[in-house]
A and B are shown apart, each in its own frame.
Chain A
Amino acid sequence: GQNIDQPTEMTATEGAIVQINCTYQTSGFNGLFWYQQHAGEAPTFLSYNVLDGLEEKGRFSSFLSRSKGYSYLLLKELQMKDSASYLCAVRENQAGTALIFGKGTTLSVSS
């Protein structure tokens, strides 16, 4: 079956580093996405991985291991505005672009 797991909640302090893990079991794999969603708003794209390894984009990095069905999102130099939900999503196949989402991780950043 299809399953994407993420921790429900995480807390951290300003300036710290936090790692949000995502494990997945899907019938196919054609890329993994991370989205950020602030309360009451739409999800916005953060990162994409399709090959094993680390993708870095400013304060955010995302890592993928396809053999382990595992990804993480790394947020550095945390700021208050990083308080949001972080959604892990897998695109299963080449023919379509439908995404399967995890339930999301709510990150609270305190001063």
Chain B
Amino acid sequence: NAGVTQTPKFQVLKTGQSMTLQCAQDMNHEYMSWYRQDPGMGLRLIHYSVGAGITDQGEVPNGYNVSRSTTEDFPLRLLSAAPSQTSVYFCASSYSRTPGTSGSIGHNEQFFGPGTRLTVL
């Protein structure tokens, strides 16, 4: 298993440009999410999805769009990049329910991708 993969690893954008950060997982996880990590701010949730066709906003969704057309892929789109979006972006995935149980979440930890380091000039 490749786990959670993210592309690109590094990206430099100019203000106003748009781009898509790619995230894919091969663990058949229902739940996927996007975080940004800034110095002194910790990880903050941008958007998340509990399954194909279902997405919802996290703590800091403004300026970002997501879609979930397949279980495996969860791309994050920056519509018009701003310097405030300079950050490290992590995608994560997990089971929503413990496989083989009656529905308990259990300790389904989130697995993180390697991150995308984005700079907006």
**In the complex, A99→B107 CA distance in Å?**
12
**In the complex, A96→B108 CA distance in Å?**
11
B90 touches A101 (CB 8 A): no
**In the complex, A60→B4 CA distance in Å?**
25
**In the complex, A103→B40 CA distance in Å?**
6
Chain B residues closer than 8 Å to A42, beta-carbon distance:
90, 112-115
Instruction: Convert A94-111 into 0s and 1s, putting 1 for each residue whose CB lies closer than 8 angstroms to a CB of B.
Output: 101111111110000000
Q: Does A30 contact B (CB under 8 A)?
A: yes
Q: Does B42 contact A (CB under 8 A)?
A: yes
Least distance between A102 CB and chain B CB atoms (Å) = 6
B110 touches A45 (CB 8 A): yes
B33 touches A98 (CB 8 A): yes
B110 touches A97 (CB 8 A): yes
**In the complex, A97→B95 CA distance in Å?**
9
**In the complex, A96→B109 CA distance in Å?**
13
Least distance between A88 CB and chain B CB atoms (Å) = 9
Other A-B pairs, 11, CB within 8 Å; known A30-B105, A97-B94, A97-B110: A33-B110, A42-B115, A45-B111, A87-B43, A91-B105, A94-B105, A96-B48, A97-B31, A97-B50, A99-B45, A99-B110
Ordered by A's residue number, 8 sampled pairs between the chains whose C-beta atoms are within 8 Å are A41-B114, A48-B107, A87-B42, A96-B48, A97-B31, A99-B45, A100-B59, A103-B42
